[in-house]
């Protein structure tokens, strides 16, 4: 490998490593957002009214390709300060059908669940819990980020040889 090829490989490796770092930062942001909700928003017992799973298809211009992009939405009924509320929330992640069905089965209609609402706006809610599924998307993105970072570092090391 000549010097120009090494330089190009080093540049590409650096870009890949930076992409891995950005992906890791996004995963950290996702996890910290859930932690902030769980620590600072007010908890309240709520009843799950229903769960909606819908496919928000994404169409691309490449031969009319279509990507499935499922989203789960939960509708909860709850009372804050003597006022009844009905609000919806989602897990904060889109995914394939199997992933979203796991989210959909998290709660059963009629089940009482502790949700969290924004202290200054009780109509803004989150179903975040201190459990694996709440943080699974951040962990999955973090694993991808780590893999991308390691790939970039290995390529960079090869370029410096």
pLDDT for 160 equals 87
Count the domains in the chain: 1
Per-residue model confidence (pLDDT) at position 45: 98
Domain residue limits at 71: 3-160
What is the C-alpha end-to-end distance of the chain, expressed in Å? 10
Q: Among 39-43, 85-89, 131-135, 143-147, which stretch is predicted with the lowest mean pLDDT?
A: 131-135
CA distance 146 to 66: 29
Confidence at residue 99, expressed as pLDDT on a 0 to 100 scale:
86
pLDDT confidence tier of residue 44, bands split at 50, 70 and 90: very high
| DSSP symbol at 108 | -
| Tens digit of each residue's pLDDT (9 = 90 or more) over 90-101 | 998 888 888 889
The residue-averaged pLDDT of 112-132 equals 96
Please state, in angstroms and rounded to a whole number, the distance separating the CA atoms of residues 52 and 30: 23
């Amino acid at each position: 490998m000549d010097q120009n090829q090494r330089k190009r490989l080093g540049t590409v490796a650096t870009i890949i490593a930076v992409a891995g770092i950005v992906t890791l930062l996004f995963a950290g942001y996702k996890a910290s957002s859930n932690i902030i909700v769980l620590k600072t928003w007010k908890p309240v017992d709520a009843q799950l009214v229903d769960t909606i799973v819908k496919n928000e298809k994404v169409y691309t211009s490449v031969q009319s390709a279509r990507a499935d992009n499922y989203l789960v939405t939960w509708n909860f009924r709850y009372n804050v300060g003597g006022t009844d509320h009905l609000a919806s929330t989602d897990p904060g992640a889109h995914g394939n059908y199997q992933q979203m069905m796991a989210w959909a089965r998290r709660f059963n209609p009629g089940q009482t669940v502790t949700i969290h609402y924004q202290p200054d706006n009780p109509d803004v809610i989150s179903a975040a819990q201190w459990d694996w599924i709440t943080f699974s998307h951040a962990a999955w993105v973090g694993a991808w980020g780590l893999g991308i970072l390691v790939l970039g570092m290995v390529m960079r090391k090869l370029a410096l040889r």
